[in-house]
A and B are shown apart, each in its own frame.
Chain A
Amino acid sequence: MRIATAMQGLHYVLHSPQGDTYADLLFTMIERRDQRPPVTYTTFQARDLGGDTAQLLQSAVRAAYERHQPQAMLVGASCTAELLQDDPGGLARALNLPVPVVALELPAYQRKENWGAAETFYRLVRTLAAPTGGDRSGTGNQVDPAAVRRPRCNLLGATALGFRHRDDVCEITRLLGRLGIDINVTAPLGATPADLARLGAADFNVVLYPEIARPAAEWLEKTFSQPWTRTIPIGIAATRAFISEVAGLAKVSADEVLEGAPSRLPWYSRSVDSNYLTGKRVFIFGDATHAIAAARIAADELGFSVVGLGSYSREHAREVREAAARHGLEALITDDYLAVEAAVTELQPELVLGTQMERHIAKRLRIPCAVISAPIHVQDFPARYAPQMGWEGANVIFDTWVQPLMMGLEEHLLTMFRGDHEFHDEAAPSHLGASPAAAVTPAPTPAAAATAAGVSWSDEAERELGKIPFFVRGKARRNTESYAAQRQLSLVTLETLYDAKAHFAR
C-alpha cells in the first residue's frame, strides 16, 4: 500500500475483509494525505465465505478499473484472504483488462512490511520498465552521452508514509542538480506506471532506501546495466561520500560541491557549547538504513557513545551487526518491542533514537528521545522542510537530537542544587517546559535488583546514591552491586559505592 499510495495512475485491489480498510487512515490521518489511498478492498464477509469470494474479487477488480481508469493495477491478498487461496492474480488476469495487472504474492505470515514494499516495487518495475530502455542515446553509439546531454539518474525508494521521504527527495534532487545531474524518474513517490516504463533511460540509479529499492535496483542493473549507489547520504561524512560516489558514476567533478559543503553541523558540533554532548550514552533502534546512519553520526559527528544498536529489518541484519561491531556492540535484531524495552531499561541510556515505539518506551522510562525511522506518527510529518539526507538533513539531525537533552550547565546545576523545587531529579530540561508527571512509571525497581544480586544497601549508601542524577542512577546501582557481588560483599556501604565508582571509571 505504501508503494501504491506513493504513485499516481495506479490502482490496488486488495482481497481482504472490511476491517482491513483501517489501513486507509494510516495515510489520511498520520500522513495527512488529502486523497484516499488508491486501494479498493473486496471487504468479504462471513456470509461470502461459503459462496464465491473469487467472483467478488473479479467484480471488485472490474469495478475499480472502470471507476479509476488506472494505467496499471496491482492485485493482492491480505493475511485473511491469503488463507482463502483464491489466486487473485490469476482471477484478475482472466478479466483481460487492457492495462498491465501485477499480481502480488506477499506471504503475510512469513514476511513483514518493508519486504512487501520492496517486493511490490520490484514487481512493478519488472513488469512496467520497457525492455528497450527508452532513449538512452549513446549506448552502442560512438557519441559520448555526456557530450550531448547532462547525465541522468533515477531516484529510487521513496514511498508514502516514509520517514521524511518527501523532503529527502527534494534535498537530494537539489544536490544532484548542483552536480549537473538530472533526475530521469523519481519512484515510487510521485511516479506513474508510464514513468516506470522510462526507468531504463537513466545512466544509473540512486538508491535512497535500500529496504524498498534494492531488489528493483539489482534487477535494473542486470537488465539495463545501470549501476546503483550504495552510500546513503545521511550525515556529513556520508553525504560527502555519496557526492563522490555519484560524481564517479556520472563522470562529473565533485570538487565544487564538496568545497561549498553548506552544513552547520560540523561547526555546531565543534563549538564549545557542544562539549556537554561528549560521551552521552545513546541507544539506537530503527530500520537498518536509518539505524546504521544514526550510529555513525552519533559517534563520529556528535561525539556520543553508542551503547546499543538494533533494527527490526531482518533482511538487513548482517549490515546492522557489522555496524554494531564497529562500536563494540552486539546488534539487537528483533521485532518485539518488549525486547527493545528490556534493552533500554538495562542500558539506561541518556538519549534514545528510535521509532514511534521507542518514543513510548523512552517516555515511560523518562529518557529523552528523538525519532529517526519509520514506523512514525503524525508529529513526524512536520509542516516545515525537515529532510534527513544531505547538508540540510545534517542540520535537522543536529537540532532534533540535541534539543531533548539537558543543556550543559543546567545538568551541573542539577547536581549542585539537588532538592531545589525547580532543579530536582524529576524536572525536565527547562527549555522543554513542565514534565508530564502523570502516568509515569519509575525506572526499574532497585529492591528487586538488590535481592537478585544478593546485595543490600546501607542507609548511608542509599542516600548517597540518591544524590546521583536520576538518569545514571540505575547504572550506578547495577555497577555497584555487581562490584560488590564479585567481591562477595553482602552490604553496600558508602565506601563500596565510591570504590565501585573508581573501579568503573577506569
Chain B
Amino acid sequence: MSAERGQRAVFCGLTGIVWLHRKIQGAFFLVVGSRTCAHLIQSAAGVMIFAEPRFATAIIEERDLAGMSDANAELDRVVARLLEGRNDIRLLFLVGSCPSEVIKLDLSRAAQRLSARFAPSVRVLNYSGSGIETTFTQGEDACLASLVPTLPADDQPGLLVVGSLADVVEAQLQRLLVQMGIPSVQFLPPRHAERLPGIGARTRYLLAQPFLADTARALEERGARRIAAPMPYGAEGTTLWLEAAADAYGVDRRRLEEIIAPPRQRAQRAVAAQRSLLAGKRVFFFPDSQLEVPLARFLTRELSMVAVEIATPYLHRGHLDRELALLPPDSRIIEGPGVDAQLDRCRAEQPDLVVCGMGLANPLEAEGLATKWSIELMFAPIQGYEQAGDLAELFARPLVRRTRLAV
C-alpha cells in the first residue's frame, strides 16, 4: 500500500447531490458556489434537472467578493425566496464549495441563523462539498455527518444501516434483517427528511457504503457502535455482511442459514454465469468513489479476476479492515495517485479491463483498452444478493461488447 501525489482526476463532493437529492424527499440542496459549480451540478445531473429539481446554486458574484456582509445578506435573500416558492422543503442543506471555502464564508453560522428564522417548518444544515476538502463520495459522507446531530434520541436497541442505497436494495436488505428478528431496522439517509431514524447508546450501525468516515465518527459521538463487516457486494460480501449483523444481535446461525440460503444460491448462480468470461482477466482501478477496494475483493474472489492495481482516492483502513483481509496479500493498493504516473503504469500493464472515471474512459478505449466507467457503480443498484449478478454483468459488458463488434 502506498500514497501518491500529483494531479488528481476526480469529482468534488458536490457530485453526491445528484443522488442525495433524489434519495431524501423533502430535502433541498443549495450549493453556495460559482458558475462552475452550477455547471457541474447541471451537467452531472443532466436529464434529472427539470424533473422537480431539489437542488440549486446560489452563485457567488463579483459583488459578493467585495464584502462578507453582502454575501451573507445575499444568501439570506436567496434562501427566503427559495422557501417562499417551495413549501415542500423541510430540510435545507447549504452546501459549501471551493470558492465559498476560500473566501471563508461561514455557512454553519448562516445555517444557524436561517434555522432560527425558518424553524420549525424548515431545518437548515450545512456541509462542505468543496473539491479542496472532499472527493466525490465524501460529499455524501459530509452530508450524512451533518445530519447525525439532528437525529432524535432513542434508547431502544436498533440497527441503523448507513449509506445511500437504491430503494429496491434497501427493501431487500430490510426484509432479510427483519426476518432475522433484528429489532427496529432503520436506514440513513432516510427516504424522507421528516422521518429521521432515532439513535442512542443501544444503536448498532452497519455501513452499506465504504466512504463514511465522518458519518461514523458522528454516530459514535451519539453513542452508536459499529458492526464491522465487509460491504454487501456479491454472494460472499452480502453473506458476511448479514452474518455480522446476525452475530451482533445473537441470531442463531442455523436460522440465518434458512433465511439466506435461497437468495444466496440465486446470487451464486447469477455470478457464475459471468465467471467464464471474467476469470483470469486482469483489472486495473483508477481512483473514483472509494468503492474500489470492496469491488476488487468481489472481482478477485467471486469472479477469479486478477486485480493489477487498486487505486482509491482515500483509504479508510479501519472501515475496510475486513475487506483488506480478503484481498490477495500482495495486492497493489494506492491511495490518491497522480493521474499521469498512473496512466503510464496502466499502459505498461495493458490490463484486460480498466475501471476509471468518465474523463479517462474514451481516451483509454481509443488506445485499445476496455473500460468500465466507475460512476455507474455509484448509481446502479449493486448491493445485496439479488443484484450480485447485475454487478458482475457490469464488468462483463465492456468485454462482451468487444466480442460482438465487428467494426
Contact indicator A19/B34 (Cβ below 8 Å): no
Q: Given that A43-B8, A107-B62, A109-B34 are known contacts, is A19 also in contact with B361, CB under 8 Å in the complex? A: no
A21 to B10 Cα, complex, angstroms? 6
**A18 interface residue per 8 A CB criterion:** yes
Cα of A121 to Cα of B261 in the assembled complex, Å: 65
Given contacts A24-B9, A43-B8, A83-B99, contact A109 B362 (CB under 8 A): no
Interface residue? A267 (CB, 8 A): no
Decide yes or no whether A272 CB sits under 8 A from chain B.
Answer: no
Q: Which A residues are in CB contact (< 8 Å) with B36?
A: 20, 78-79, 108
B102 adjacent to A83 (CB under 8 Å): yes
Contact A110 B62 (CB under 8 A): yes
Inter-chain contact B103/A83, CB cutoff 8 Å:
yes
Q: Is the CB of A46 within 8 A of B359?
A: no
Contact of B43 with A by CB under 8 A: yes
Q: Is B212 an interface residue (CB 8 A)?
A: no
Q: Is A112 an interface residue (CB 8 A)?
A: yes
Which partner residue on chain A sits nearest B100 by CB separation? A80
Question: Are A25 and B99 neighbours in the complex by a CB distance under 8 Å?
Answer: no
**B357 proximity list for chain A (CB < 8 A):** 25
Q: Is the CB of A29 within 8 A of B358?
A: yes
Given A20-B131, A28-B362, A361-B50: A46 and B62 interface contact (C-beta under 8 Å): no
A112–B36 Cα gap in the complex (Å)? 10
| Contact yes or no, B362 A22, CB < 8 A | no
CB atoms of A79 and B362 under 8 A apart: no
Shortest CB distance A39–B (Å):
10
What are the residues of chain A within 8 A of B14 when measuring CB–CB? 19
A475 at the interface (CB under 8 A from B): no
Known: A22-B44, A32-B362, A35-B366. A84 touches B132 (CB 8 A): no
Q: Is the CB of B62 within 8 A of A28?
A: no
User: Which chain B residues lie closer than 8 Å to A35 at the CB level?
Assistant: 363, 366
Query: Which residues of A in the span 76-90 have a Cβ within 8 Å of any Cβ on B?
Result: 78-80, 83-84
Return the chain A residue nearest B52 by Cβ: A441
A33-B362, A110-B62 known; A19 and B101 CB under 8 Å?
no
Contact A108 B35 (CB under 8 A): yes
B365 to chain A, nearest CB (A): 7
In the complex, residue of chain B having the shortest beta-carbon distance to the beta carbon of A33: B362
- Closest beta carbon of chain B to A84's beta carbon, Å: 7
Binary A-proximity of B333-369 (CB < 8 A = 1, otherwise 0):
0000000100000000000000001111111011000
B102 touches A21 (CB 8 A): no
A44 to chain B: which residues have CB within 8 Å? 132
Q: Does B51 contact A (CB under 8 A)?
A: yes
Query: In B130-180, which residues have CB < 8 Å from any A CB?
Result: 130-133, 135
- One of A36, A108, A377 near B363 (C-beta < 8 A): A36
A227: interface (CB < 8 Å) = no
B396 interface contact, C-beta 8 A: no
Q: Does B279 contact A (CB under 8 A)?
A: no
Q: How far is the CA of A33 from the CA of B360 in the complex (A)?
A: 10
Q: A439: CB under 8 A from chain B? A: yes
* Distance in angstroms between the alpha carbons of A45 and B50 in the assembled complex: 32
A270 contacts chain B at the CB level, 8 A cutoff:
no
Query: Hey, which chain B residues are within 8 Å of A46, CB to CB?
Result: 101, 130, 132-133
CA distance A353 to B51 in the complex (A): 21
**CB atoms of B62 and A19 under 8 A apart:** no
* Nearest Cβ on chain A to B51's Cβ, whole angstroms: 6
Q: Does any Cβ of B come within 8 Å of A363's Cβ?
A: yes
Chain A contacts for B135, CB-based, 8 A: 18
CB distance from B376 to the nearest CB of A (A): 12
Q: Would B35 and A43 count as touching, CB distance under 8 A?
A: no
> How many residues on chain A are close to B (CB under 8 Å)?
44
Measured between C-beta atoms, what is the minimum distance from A51 to chain B in Å? 13
Let me know if B50 and A360 touch, CB within 8 A.
yes
Whether the Cβ atoms of A28 and B35 lie closer than 8 Å is no
Main secondary structure of the interface of B (DSSP, over half): helix
Q: How far is the CA of A42 from the CA of B340 in the complex (A)?
A: 12
Taking CB atoms and an 8 Å cut-off, the chain A residues in 124-159 that contact chain B are none
Task: Enumerate chain A residues within 8 angstroms of B79, measured Cβ to Cβ.
Answer: none
The residues of A that contact B28 with a CB separation of less than 8 Å are none
Q: Please, which residues of chain B bring their CB within 8 A of the CB of A34?
A: 362-363, 365-366
B47-66 interface with A by 8 A CB criterion: 47, 49-51, 60-62, 65
Q: Does A465 have its Cβ within 8 Å of any Cβ on chain B?
A: no
Assembly CA distance A84 to B61 (angstroms): 16
Q: Which of A26, A28, A34, A364 has the most CB of B within 10 A?
A: A28
For chain B, the count of residues having a C-beta within 8 Å of the partner chain is 44
Q: Is B112 an interface residue (CB 8 A)?
A: no
**B10 proximity list for chain A (CB < 8 A):** 18-19, 21
Query: Are A80's CB and B98's CB within 8 A?
Result: yes
Q: Say if the beta carbon of B12 comes within 8 Å of chain A.
A: yes
Alpha-carbon distance between A460 and B103 when the two chains are bound, in angstroms: 62
With an 8 A cutoff between CB atoms, is B213 at the interface? no
- Chain B CB within 10 Å, residue with most, of A63, A67, A78, A80: A80
On whether A22 and B65 interact (CB within 8 A), knowing A46-B133, A108-B35, the answer reads: no
- Of A21, A22, A83, A363, the residue contacting B50 (CB under 8 A) is A363
Q: When A33-B363, A34-B366 are in contact, do A42 and B7 touch as well, CB less than 8 Å?
A: yes
Q: Is the CB of B7 within 8 A of A49?
A: no
B298 at the interface (CB under 8 A from A): no
Residues of A within 8 A of B35 (CB): 79, 108, 112
Nearest-neighbor residue (CB-CB) of B33 within chain A? A79
Given contacts A43-B8, A79-B99, A109-B65, contact A17 B34 (CB under 8 A): no
Interface presence of A60 (CB below 8 A): yes
Closest Cβ of chain A to B98, distance in Å, is 4
Judge whether A36 and B360 touch: CB under 8 Å. yes
Which residues of chain B are within 8 angstroms of A42 by Cβ–Cβ distance?
A: 7
In the complex the two chains form, what is the Cα distance from A67 to B6 in whole Å? 13
Chain B residue nearest to A68 in the complex (CB):
B340
- Give A374-391 interface residues, CB cut-off 8 Å to B: 377
Provide the bound-state CA to CA distance between A63 and B338, in Å.
12
Contact call A26/B102, Cβ cutoff below 8 A: no
Are the C-beta atoms of B363 and A45 separated by less than 8 Å? no
Contact across chains for A79 and B7 when beta carbons are under 8 A apart? no
Which interface residue of B46, B99, B360 has the most chain A CB atoms within 10 A?
B99
A44-B14 Cα distance, complex, nearest whole Å: 17
Among B102, B359, B363, the most chain A Cβ lie within 10 Å of the Cβ of B359
Using known A-B contacts A42-B7, A360-B50, determine if residue A19 contacts B362 with beta carbons closer than 8 Å: no
Whether A19 touches B363, Cβ cut-off 8 Å, given contacts A83-B102, A361-B50, is no
A41 close to B (CB within 8 Å): yes
Any chain A CB within 8 A of the CB of B327? no
Tell whether B40 is near chain A: CB-to-CB under 8 Å.
yes
Asked if B11 CB lies within 8 Å of chain A CBs, one says yes
The one of A25, A29, A49, A363 in contact with B132, judged by C-beta atoms closer than 8 angstroms, is A49
Q: Which residue of B lies closest to A26 (CB)?
A: B43
Which residues of A are found within 8 Å of B60, using beta-carbon distances?
A: 109
- A52 vs chain B, min Cβ distance (A): 14
- Least Cβ distance of B231 to chain A in Å? 24
Instruction: State whether A360 and B43 are in contact (beta carbons under 8 Å apart), knowing that A18-B12, A19-B130, A32-B362 are contacts in the complex.
Output: no
A40 sits at the interface (CB 8 A): yes
A84-134 residues at the B interface, CB under 8 angstroms = 84, 107-110, 112
Which residue of chain A has the shortest Cβ distance to B367 in the bound complex?
A: A34
Residues 86-102 (chain B) with a chain A CB within 8 angstroms: 98-99, 101-102
Interface set of B (CB-CB < 8 Å, partner A): 7-15, 34-36, 40, 43-44, 46-47, 49-51, 60-62, 65, 98-99, 101-103, 130-133, 135, 340, 357-363, 365-366
10 residue pairs of the A-B complex, CB under 8 angstroms, read A17-B131, A21-B8, A21-B11, A22-B43, A33-B362, A41-B7, A79-B98, A108-B35, A109-B60, A360-B47
Further 4 A-B residue pairs, CB within 8 A, beyond A21-B359, A35-B366, A45-B132:
A19-B13, A22-B44, A28-B363, A36-B359
